[in-house]
Structure 1
């Protein structure tokens, strides 16, 4: 077998392995074969945490803008006097 044929065989083998992995959903780094309920629970917990953090950021942004508007309004009232 010459080097070109060997490279071609390796490329074909890797392509077949990639297609099989994609088809059967094999993930890297998963050796114990445990079910994904822990991962699903962790994902849901993290999504809830992100949602709560986004709500807090929204409230903080509203407070910052509200104070800025109030300050601007007070300055304008002082100028009008």
Structure 2
């Protein structure tokens, strides 16, 4: 084995070792995070969906031509929720 072949082999071994160490350390970072509570996540998603519906209603109210009956119905529907 020539000198340059040995240098290439050593560099390849060092590079391989660094790649493995980086990959293993990245995996450990993800394990340190607390577990996700599925029930809490589902309740937050429901709440966001309800808020989006309310926002749509408020956007409709703000952009309408001033129909007073429709406005009062929309306000009452928001109160009923």
TM-score (structure 1 length as normaliser): 0.48
